């Protein structure tokens, strides 16, 4: 296959007018060589060619949630994501009973090793991002307080073992666990420790980062904010040059100015666009379930029923990326990198995914000049 005449987002560095030659599942080369004689020719004239997106924090879509723990649910979610340009996924787990979380992880492993290998239908399951259960009841958001636990290295090991490589990120509210330092020391080389749903002050957050926490779940949301006398978790994230930060750019969770400030303070290479989408995504308004709690969807806004507490989003990652650029003032190249290469780096797969480079997996999207999704290519095959 040759994707010809497009503006190619090359090596995560900017756009270059060239042709992308694909051989099998891989990108063979990027060249201005003529492609007109190739029998598998895709004309991308006037279009952008970018890597497939990677969502490392979302819960579900089209009526399904990963915590339903069913193969059929994972199939429907992965099919929806692929159709919308999200070619690889790392869904998030809610705060649920221990045995239920382990079961859901095991179902994910079964899907990954079985039907999930059909990438003509499904986005590639890279792992799981566990928001709970080691979080704070003060900043629980839409998480179920009944199942919140203190940090427990043995339990974390059970999650890791159940996933056989699938559990990539586990959240932590360090202020809730007196043993958080030893906990981080015990598991940091096996899984990414994120600061998540936490009421931590700046000093405790910085100490957790010093011990090995390296990621922040949905920056600004469900954490202590930045003020001039109490910098909080947000300040700790900005002040730590190696911490990566998730951010939801659905137009609901965060004001555009706050998004721009985050990109300016943390730097484009540390920002990760996520959708945090829940099962109502892709569906009409109504009442839906998230972690056993009722959530009401009204347009793009999802809140816990009867409250004004935001409960996930109803916007997929592709639309978040476009919104980040068009409505929040983030440069297109930066927004694309935050939805492709940066999450690939966090998940440890940037040697194969996340950018358009020779030898990498041919996960590619073709967008028109208005950033409308035209084509999805997964592992060198034209899917849509």
Instruction: Say how far apart CA 21 and CA 18 lie, in whole Å.
Output: 10
Strand 192-195 with 15-23, pairing: unpaired
Q: Is residue 11 within a helix (H) or strand (E), and if so which, with residue range?
A: none
Q: To 10 degrees, what angle do helices 98-113 and 153-163 make?
A: 20
* DSSP 8-class letter at 30: E
| Per-residue pLDDT, 36 | 63
d(CA 352, CA 117): 16
Alpha-carbon separation of residue 34 from 25, 207, 215 (angstroms): 21, 56, 44
Which residue shows structure tokens 């999805």?
376
pLDDT (tens digit per residue) in 306-365: 898 888 788 999 999 999 999 999 999 999 999 999 999 999 999 999 999 999 999 999
Identical topology for domains 2-49+367-382 and 53-353: no
Question: Is 276 one of the catalytic residues?
Answer: yes
Q: For 203-237, what is each residue's pLDDT tens digit?
A: 999 999 999 999 999 999 999 999 999 999 999 99
Mean pLDDT of the region 276-286: 91
pLDDT of residue 151: 97
| Structure-derived torsion over alpha carbons of residues 283, 170, 115, 22, reported in degrees to the nearest 10 | 90
**pLDDT for res 38:** 66
- Residue 272: CA atoms inside 13 Å, Cβ hemisphere, count? 26
The pLDDT score that the predictor gives to residue 300 is: 80
**Helix/strand/coil for 257:** helix
CATH (residue range 2-49+367-382): 2.30.40.10
Scored b (16 or more CB within 10 A) or e, 159-171 reads bbebbeebbbbbb
Q: Which residues contact 21 (CB under 8 A, 6 or more apart)?
A: 1, 2, 27, 28, 29, 30, 31, 33, 35
Q: Is the pTM of this model over 0.85?
A: yes
- Domain 53-353 architecture: Alpha-Beta Barrel (3.20)
What is the structure's pLDDT at 35?
A: 67
Range scoring the smallest mean pLDDT among 141-150, 209-218, 367-376: 141-150
pLDDT at 201 over 70: yes
Task: Give the pLDDT score at 13.
Answer: 87
Beta strands in 102-243 (DSSP E): 124-125, 128-130, 167-172, 192-195, 215-216
Instruction: Give the start-to-end residue ranges of the domains of the chain.
Output: 2-49+367-382, 53-353
Nearest CA to 240 out of 282, 202, 206 is that of: 206
- How far apart, in Å, are the Cα atoms of 94 and each of 57, 81, 97, 129, 199? 11, 19, 10, 9, 18
CB half-sphere exposure, 339, CA atoms < 13 A = 33
User: What is the pLDDT, as a whole number, of residue 325?
Assistant: 98
Average predicted confidence (pLDDT) for the chain: 95
Distance from C-alpha of 301 to C-alpha of 312, rounded to nearest angstrom: 9
Q: If you average pLDDT over residues 114-118, what whole number do you get?
A: 96
Catalytic residue among 55, 152, 250, 276: 276
pLDDT at 37: 67
Q: What is the mean pLDDT of residues 85-111?
A: 97
- Distance CA(193)–CA(88), nearest Å, equals 21
Kindly report, residue by residue over 36-89, the tens digit of the pLDDT.
Answer: 666 688 999 999 999 999 999 999 999 999 999 999 999 999 999 999 999 999
Give the confidence band of 288 by pLDDT, cuts at 50, 70, 90. confident
């Amino acid at each position: 296959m040759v994707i010809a005449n497009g503006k190619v987002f090359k090596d995560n560095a900017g756009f270059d007018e060239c042709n992308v030659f694909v051989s099998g599942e891989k990108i063979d080369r990027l060249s201005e060589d003529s492609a007109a004689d190739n029998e598998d020719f895709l004309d991308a004239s006037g279009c952008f060619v970018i890597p497939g997106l990677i969502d490392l924090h979302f819960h579900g879509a089209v009526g399904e949630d990963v915590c339903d723990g069913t193969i059929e649910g994972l199939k429907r979610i992965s099919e929806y994501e692929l159709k919308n340009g999200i070619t690889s996924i790392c869904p998030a787990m809610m705060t649920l009973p221990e045995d239920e979380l382990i079961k859901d992880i095991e179902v994910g492993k079964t899907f990954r090793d079985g039907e999930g290998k059909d990438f003509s239908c499904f986005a590639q399951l890279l792992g799981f991002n566990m928001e709970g259960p080691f979080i704070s009841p003060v900043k629980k958001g839409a998480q179920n307080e009944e199942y919140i636990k203190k940090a427990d290295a043995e339990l974390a090991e059970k999650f890791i073992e159940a996933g056989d490589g699938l559990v990539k990120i586990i959240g932590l509210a360090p202020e809730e666990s007196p043993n958080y330092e030893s906990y981080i020391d015990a598991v940091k080389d096996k899984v990414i420790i994120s600061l998540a749903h936490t009421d931590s002050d700046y000093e405790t957050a910085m100490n957790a980062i010093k011990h090995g926490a390296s990621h922040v779940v949905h920056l600004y949301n469900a954490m202590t904010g930045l003020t001039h006398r109490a910098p909080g978790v947000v300040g700790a994230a900005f002040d730590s040059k190696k911490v990566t930060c998730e951010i939801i750019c659905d137009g609901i969770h965060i004001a555009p100015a706050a998004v721009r400030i985050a990109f300016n303070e943390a730097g484009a290479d540390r920002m990760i666009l996520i959708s945090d989408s829940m099962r109502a995504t892709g569906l009409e308004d109504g009442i839906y379930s998230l972690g056993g709690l009722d959530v009401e969807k009204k347009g793009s806004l999802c809140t816990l029923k009867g409250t004004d507490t935001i409960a996930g989003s109803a916007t997929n990652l592709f639309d978040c990326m476009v919104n980040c650029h068009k409505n929040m003032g983030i440069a297109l190249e930066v927004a694309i990198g935050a939805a492709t290469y940066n999450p690939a780096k966090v998940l440890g797969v940037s040697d194969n995914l996340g950018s358009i480079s020779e030898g990498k997996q041919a996960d590619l999207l073709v967008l028109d000049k208005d950033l409308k999704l035209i084509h999805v290519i997964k592992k060198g095959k034209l899917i849509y």
